Structure 1
Amino acid sequence: MTAFTLAHLSDPHLAPLPTPRLHQLLGKRAIGYLNWKRGRHNIHRREIVDALVADIKAQSPGHIAITGDLINLALPDEFTQARAWLESVGAPADVTLVPGNHDAYVRITKKQTSEWVDYMRGDAARPGAPLSFPFLRRRGPLTLIGVSSAVPTAPFMATGWLGRNQLDMLDQGFSQLADDPNFRVLLIHHPLASKDSYKRLTDAKTLLALIKRHRVDLILHGHDHVHSTMWFEGPHGRVPAIGVPSASAVPHRHYPAAAYNLLSVVREGDAWRCEQRVRGFVDGAAAERAEVTELQRTQLI
């Protein structure tokens, strides 16, 4: 069987930042704006994310997953600009998005979230239906499960949470997928474990309990802006959770340059095999930066 390739990028923090109006720079946005002007605008570069997307397209993946933080301060004009960027990445049928904490930097309106809804709509959702999480999409041999950990938080906090309603719906959805043989990929912005309390997923313990009971084959996330692989207990063995650097970043301090993951999934008899390749910036150009890594062999039971 031919392998299916899923590209994964995250945290593009799209530049340039639109010029905010004075009344928009209140509370947390004022702090974020100062941080952007003092340094973040030098780290997150539009030409880098554009080059990264061009490299992704050159690899001809079967689908593209983006795990949040398209924008920076959740300014109204940022949502419109990010919609245009999403369209440059691909059509809604070919790109799946879950939001990040910067996409919910402050409380936002339904009009703003509607800019991206086509990229976050499940296959069974009716046209015009309100945005709802979790959502489910089937692409090739993959079942993509999207959840939102994006919530507005206090200044200097970047925590996320799913909430009881979303977790209950996720539990029910997993139960309905009991006989689904597809390779299951959970998309979330926040990592399921964090050493920093100010940026953790606050209800990660409950989510991990669900993953321990229900088969999930791969977890993809962003948020930390670093390469990472963590392993969590599932019903049939360990489940890999893969993080990726910001898609627009120049290397700075302990943070690496922009990169993305290519996940190759293939059915082998009664099992799935998943391999990871990483492509990122080396000497200013996108290139392979790691050997192929076998992440998972999932036995179908």
Structure 2
Amino acid sequence: MAAFTLAHLSDPHLGPLPAPKLHQLAGKRALGYQNWKRSRHAIHRRDVLDALVADIRTQAPDHIAITGDLINLALPGEFTQARTWLESVGAPHDVTLVPGNHDAYVRATQKQISEWIGYMRGDGASAGAPLSFPFLRRRGPLTLIGVSSAVPTAPFMATGWLGHAQLDALDNALSQLAGDPNFRVLLIHHPLSSKSSYKRLTDAEALLTILRRHRVDLILHGHDHIHSTMWFDGPHGRVPAIGVPSASAMPYRHYPAAAYNLFSITRGGDAWRCEQRVRGFVDGAGVESAEVRELQRVQLI
């Protein structure tokens, strides 16, 4: 079987920020706008993001996964700007998206996430169906499982939450996949473990309980803006959870420059093999490739 290549990027934080109206800068948005003007506009650069996406195209992956934070303050104009950017990355069939906390920055514009619904629609969902999580998409030998941890939070908080309804639906969906040999990839914005209480997934333990019962082979997330590999217990062994830096970032403090991951997934006999390759900016130069490493061999039971 030929390798299936999955590209993963996250947290593009698209700029430039549309000019906000005064009435839109209340509460959390006012603080976020000050932060953007003070420093974030210089960290998250569109030219960096464009170069990274151009490099992804040269790698010709079979599919692209994006794990949230397309925008910054959830201003109405940002949603349209992000939809145009998504269309430049690829068609909805070829790109799968889950939202991040900045995409749900304030409650007033949560519904506007539906502007991107084509990239978050599960297989078999009708064109007029409302946005729903979790969703499942089959692409080649992969089953992509998208969940949303994007919820509005108080100022100075960036926590995520799945909620009982979504967790129950995920448990049911994974139960229905029992015996399905496809390689399963869970997409979520927040990491499943965090040292920062203000950035954590608040119901992570409930999600991990589900993942201990049902096979998931790879977990992809964003949010922390760093290279990250964590391992969690699954029913047949340890499962890797991989984080990636912001796709638009210049290096700052302990955060690395923009990068993305390429996963090469192959099946041989009754086992899957998954290799990870990192491509990103190095020393202010162009996009380069780091060492390939084998994440794991997944034995189908």
TM-score after normalising by structure 2:
0.99
> Shift of the alpha carbon at 1:109?
3.9
Cα contact 2:3–2:266 (8 A) shared by 1: yes
CA distance in 2, matches of 1:109, 1:200: 22
1:10-89 equivalence runs, <5 A: 10-89=10-89
- Equivalent residue number for residue 193 of structure 1: 193
Alignment partner of 1:295: what SS?
strand
Gaps of 5+ in 2: none
> Shift of the alpha carbon at 1:110?
6.4
Identity %: 81
> Shift of the alpha carbon at 1:11?
0.1
1:124-273 equivalence runs, <5 A: 124-273=124-273
CA distance in 1, matches of 2:270, 2:114: 41
Q: Which of structure 1's runs of 4+ aligned residues deviate more than 3 A?
A: 108-111
> Shift of the alpha carbon at 1:107?
1.0
CA distance in 2, matches of 1:110, 1:100: 11
Gaps of 5+ in 1: none
> Shift of the alpha carbon at 1:284?
2.5
Alignment partner of 2:231: what SS?
strand
Asked if 1:285 is matched to 2:286, the reply is: yes
Alignment partner of 1:84: what SS?
helix
**Number of equivalences:** 300
CA distance in 2, matches of 1:284, 1:33: 30
> Shift of the alpha carbon at 1:201?
0.1
> Shift of the alpha carbon at 1:120?
0.3
CA distance in 2, matches of 1:106, 1:184: 32
- Equivalent residue number for residue 120 of structure 1: 120
Letter in 2 for 1:132: S
- 1:21-73 CA-to-partner distances (Å, cap 9, x unmatched) read 00000000000000000000000000000000000010000000000000000
Alignment partner of 1:161: what SS?
coil
Cα contact 2:274–2:294 (8 A) shared by 1: yes
Alignment partner of 2:39: what SS?
helix
> Shift of the alpha carbon at 1:111?
5.4
Cα contact 2:74–2:109 (8 A) shared by 1: no
Alignment partner of 1:65: what SS?
strand
Alignment partner of 1:115: what SS?
helix
> Shift of the alpha carbon at 1:215?
0.1
> Shift of the alpha carbon at 1:108?
3.8
> Shift of the alpha carbon at 1:296?
1.4
Letter in 1 for 2:285: G
Letter in 1 for 2:287: A
CA distance in 1, matches of 2:285, 2:66: 22
CA distance in 1, matches of 2:39, 2:292: 34
CA distance in 2, matches of 1:273, 1:188: 22
1:76-115 equivalence runs, <5 A: 76-109=76-109, 112-115=112-115
- 1:232-272 CA-to-partner distances (Å, cap 9, x unmatched) read 00000000000000000000000000000000000011000
CA distance in 2, matches of 1:272, 1:279: 23
Letter in 2 for 1:287: E
> Shift of the alpha carbon at 1:115?
1.1
Cα contact 1:74–1:108 (8 A) shared by 2: no
After superposition, the Cα gap between the structure-2 partners of 1:27 and 1:231, relative to the gap in structure 1 and judged at 3 Å, is same
CA distance in 2, matches of 1:142, 1:51: 27
CA distance in 2, matches of 1:291, 1:65: 21
Cα contact 2:134–2:169 (8 A) shared by 1: yes
> Shift of the alpha carbon at 1:294?
0.5
TM-score after normalising by structure 1:
0.99
Alignment partner of 1:113: what SS?
helix
Letter in 2 for 1:42: A
> Shift of the alpha carbon at 1:179?
1.6
CA distance in 2, matches of 1:180, 1:156: 42
Cα contact 1:8–1:65 (8 A) shared by 2: yes
> Shift of the alpha carbon at 1:184?
0.1
Provide the alpha-carbon RMSD of the alignment. Answer: 0.8
Q: Which moves more between the two structures, 147-156 or 114-123?
A: 114-123
